[in-house]
Amino acid sequence: MATKVPINDPMIDPRTGEYAVIAPGHNFKSVTQKIAGLVLTSNTPLGWFFGLMVAGGVASLVVIAVTWLFLKGVGIWGITMPGAWGFAIINFVWWIGIGHAGTLISAILLLFKQTWRNSINRFAEAMTIFAVVCAGMFPLLHVGRPWLGYWLFPYPNTMNIWPQFRSPLAWDVFAVSTYATISVVFWYIGMIPDFGTLRDRATLPLARYFYGILSLGWRGSTRHWIRYETASLLLAGLSTPLVLSVHTVISFDFAVAALAGWHTTIFPPYFVAGAVYSGFAMVLTLAIPIRKWYHMEDLVTLRHLDNMAKVMLATGSIVAYGYGMEVFMSWYSASHWEFFMMWNRMFGPMWWGYWMLILTNIAIPLTTLWSRKLRVNVGYLFVLSFIVNIGMWFERFVIVVTSLYREYLPSSWGTYVATKWDYMLFIGTWGLFTCLFLLFVRFLPMIPMSEIRMMLPQTKITRGGPTAETVSEEMS
Amino acid sequence: MAQVFDRSSNALARMSLVLAGLIVIALGVALNQLQRSPWVTKQGQRPDQPIPFSHKHHVEGVGLQCQYCHVQVEKAGYAGIPPTKTCMNCHAQIWTNAEYLEPVRQSWATGASIQWIRVHDLPDFVYFNHDIHVNKGIGCASCHGRVDEMPLMYQQNTLQMEWCLNCHRNPAVNLRPTSEIYNMAWAGPSTTKPVVCTSTNKGGPTAQNVSCEVATEEAAVPAGYTKFTSQIELGKYLTAQYHIRTPNELSSCETCHR
């Protein structure tokens, strides 16, 4: 394979003939300096402060919206009967979906030994956790009596009452709390070697203590590494079924119900595909500014963007298949209500939701992503990532709202109009997400140094390649 | 460069692991204890009543039967607190000058109700019904404790849902003959104090078909009677005779939460 590509391609490792994932010219020290330097610098970029200020301001909307919600009740939202689920559920599914790409990158791509994941997995995992934080609020907030939310957990109580384990909403509690826990553990374990590096490079005593405690006495011995790799692989093996089941459980919230438009067996895989689709869009949204502002073009290369766009193309096609099947089945079922549901989605009062979804999720991305030229066009990808995230939001909007507001009985048809409190909480979660992400970028290693170091050509042992002496020379 | 953490950190790190585990366990145990503590359930608390009414004096001392004051207990869901009229039946003549009976006389003179403080206060989403319990063989003392020994009224049991459900799931352990409902000292049948019961089997709906007596160890069992020497045997018999419904029905939500 090495002979088929032009020999002077800078992305080809001259020693092994393999396609490099990161740009050439790095050695162990330069990678470490570059990534650790961002954290340990005393010169925080002004833009970071500005960003944190803006994001914090937006995040304060959450506080306002939640305070008013707790004071007045869920009636401040646009939910009515029959449309009793609205923005809260749409946003919940949307945020959870975004988180899934992080786990896909960190776990599934690890199982497939995709080394290109190494540059992006850390901030993709961070994205997962912060998205789960945003998502996790909604199930609690959208209940009328949030102070009794703990009743959803099975604990021995004086009422002799346990949760109903047949409800997918109870499964949500277990799915999301397990997902959040495993994601945090996986993320943290991945960072331990990097914390060790930061501890050793920090000059401020406070930073030394901070990263020293976080690194848990990591010395990087062979025994450490063997166990670290085993643990990572095990966690990846555990997270993979987890990520598939979590969004499956969330799709059950709808698919288990008897509503036309919800009661569909295609939901579990199609929701998961949609989650990965929107999640990768969000990774692009984050990766593109990061590589530009922090000059990471050599670590997050065009090849990464190209690969991510390809995953989006694949999952987007699955989602498109899902839409197609829904339309086909609503005709093929010969069910009056199924047929009306689809007709209403396309041509009813909320037709714009459906066509917006087709436009932003199918029409624009799936026609353009086939072109390699556009897949490596950073500006285009950045815009596209927003388009897909809008589209995936509309997907949940269409599923939740257009199935609910016109259901079996025409006498209980209503409509759904979101209020300013719906928007305020949704926009507020963007601010919260951005805030958390900015803090992550400043205080934690946003690209796994240890994993990037392992990708360097210097680690490859080939005939005529570097000897131990030359490697240690490069390291010093 | 000096070490970041000195040797003592080893001990601290190990201790923090143990401590974290202990904190989690302690928190769990504490919360579990707290939700059942008298501080939460108000068991044993004696609020300041307008008149220090003594059940001990009126039941044990005077020998009044419970229904003399709580007249509706067999017929209505709410057992009722006696009106001032009931007090004045006697206290128009007895202790007419007692200082602590002044609120009763005031109430009688003005017509204003005495503001008793409720000791057994269930939330309003629980529809507790006294008459069904009394008529199906649950004695006063099973729920309210030995009221005849209480100078001031207090709550004996938790009144928590698990406490109600424990009995609704296994009523036999608390059932007694309806003739013994108001017997505060009832202790259940034993080998020295067996209970003999007979059923007229008229097919009527409730306890009225069953007649039980406390016998002595030596006495012969009359014809048609069954002898019981343990609460479990008696409870099973009474469950069948009183037509007490199955635990599934009795612990269904609509039994108490309507």
d(CA A312, CA A20): 22
- B110 half-sphere exposure, CB direction, 13 A CA radius: 9
Reading chain B (258 residues) residue by residue, the pLDDT tens digits are 578 888 999 999 999 999 999 999 999 999 999 999 999 999 999 999 999 999 999 999 999 999 999 999 999 999 989 999 999 999 999 998 899 899 999 999 999 999 999 999 999 999 999 999 999 999 999 999 999 999 999 999 999 999 999 999 999 999 999 889 999 999 889 888 899 988 876 666 666 778 888 888 888 888 888 899 999 999 999 998 888 999 999 999 999 998
Element (H, E) at B213: strand B210-214
Nearest to A363 by CA among A302, A399, A319: A319
Which pLDDT does position A1 carry in this prediction?
44
B17 and chain A: CB distance < 8 Å anywhere? no
Do B161 and A158 count as a contact with CB atoms less than 8 A apart? yes
Contact B151, B54 (CB under 8 A): yes
CA distance A216 to chain B (A): 9
Three-class DSSP category at B24 = helix
CA distance B4 to chain A (A): 7
Which pLDDT does position A467 carry in this prediction?
55
Which pLDDT does position A311 carry in this prediction?
93
Do A158 and B165 count as a contact with CB atoms less than 8 A apart? no
> Could you tell me the pLDDT band of residue A16, with boundaries at 50, 70 and 90?
low
CA distance B14 to chain A (A): 11
**Angle at CA of residue B249, ends B42 and B226, nearest 5°:** 90
Three-class DSSP category at B193 = coil
Nearest to A296 by CA among A14, A23, A7: A23
CA distance A212 to chain B (A): 7
In chain B, positions 171-230, which contact chain A (CB-CB < 8 Å)? none
Residues of chain B neighbouring A217 (CB-CB closer than 8 A): 13
Nearest to A212 among B4, B36, B166 (CB): B4
Backbone angles phi, psi at B210, to 5 degrees: -105, 135
Nearest to B165 among A156, A160, A208 (CB): A160
d(CA A304, CA A116): 6
pLDDT single digits (tens) A400-454: 999 999 989 999 999 999 999 999 999 999 999 999 999 999 999 999 999 888 8
Do B35 and A158 count as a contact with CB atoms less than 8 A apart? yes
Instruction: Indicate the pTM of the whole model.
Output: 0.90
- pLDDT score of A475 more than 80: no
B13 and chain A: CB distance < 8 Å anywhere? yes
DSSP A243-308: HHHHHHHHHHHHHTS--TTT--TTHHHHHHHHHHHHHHHHHHHHHHHHHHHTT-TTTS-HHHHHHH
Handedness of CA B167, B172, B177, B178 (dihedral sign): positive
Nearest to A186 by CA among A121, A135, A241: A121
Enter the DSSP assignment of B147. Answer: G
Enter the DSSP assignment of B217. Answer: S
pLDDT single digits (tens) A384-396: 999 999 999 999 9
Which pLDDT does position A361 carry in this prediction?
93
